[in-house]
Structure 1
Amino acid sequence: MVQLHENLDALKDLDVNMYIVSGDTPEEQAELYNALEDAYGKSLPFISDPDLKMIELFNMKNNDAAYRGYGLMDTEGNVVFNTINDLWGQELDQTVEEIKEEYEKIHND
């Protein structure tokens, strides 16, 4: 998450709303949100998904937890792309490129 927040500008040209979704409680997320905001002057909003319903929608449920990764939904709420990748932050250039490619596919259809 640190790598993402250090490089949010890499995705600024995409017309998307970005969120961090996790099974953590709102209180746990608020703590992390505040720490990121203190460190970087901003933080992406968090969505608390303790029942893992949204995570399951993205096909990222791993028993009682979530895989790490990223995905895109269209304006109708349909998942159009998802990637499970525990190293997405360390591979941020590749991650950004994949997100941009998938975004372009959606907008060119």
Structure 2
Amino acid sequence: MDADIYALSNDSPEEHKHLKEELGFTFPFLSDASMDVIEKADMKGESSSVRGYSVFDENGELIASEENDFWGEEIEQTAEKIKQALE
């Protein structure tokens, strides 16, 4: 799959660093305190970001988004949905 992967939330960079190290993720974690990108990704809750995934095309247009608290546990299904969105 030809895609860039990022974790995005309104958590602080310090919180991201701790979580990234704790879970052993290798992709970048991005902090969006203003929630501008989170809103564009359709992942904005009432006061924080929600869990799920969003897919943007090469022009920065949102082409798929799904709120899902279990995207990590359901990584195979999530990966398949992302692949379909990129086709």
In structure 2, do the counterparts of structure 1 residues 68 and 16 end up closer, same or farther at CA, with 3 Å as the change threshold? same
Residue number among 57, 64, 70 corresponding to 2:47 in the alignment: 64
Gaps of 5+ in 1: 1-13, 105-109
The offset of 1:78, in angstroms, is 1.2
Residue number among 88, 97, 102 corresponding to 2:80 in the alignment: 97
Q: Are the equivalent residues in 2 in contact too, given 1:23–1:51 (CA < 8 A)?
A: yes
Q: Give the structure 1 partner of residue 8 of structure 2.
A: 21
Q: Are the equivalent residues in 2 in contact too, given 1:36–1:43 (CA < 8 A)?
A: no
Taking only the aligned residue pairs, the percentage that are identical comes to 38
| CA distance in structure 2 between the partners assigned to 1:30 and 1:90 by the alignment | 21
The answer to whether the aligner puts 1:35 opposite 2:22 as a matched pair is: yes
RMSD: 1.3
TM-score normalised over the length of structure 2: 0.89
- Matched residues, number: 87
Gaps of 5+ in 2: none
Structure showing greater Rg: 1
Which structure shows the bigger proportion of residues in helix conformation? 1
SS at match of 2:59: coil
| CA distance in structure 2 between the partners assigned to 1:17 and 1:44 by the alignment | 9
Residue number among 50, 53, 56 corresponding to 1:73 in the alignment: 56
**Aligned partner of 2:2: which letter?**
D
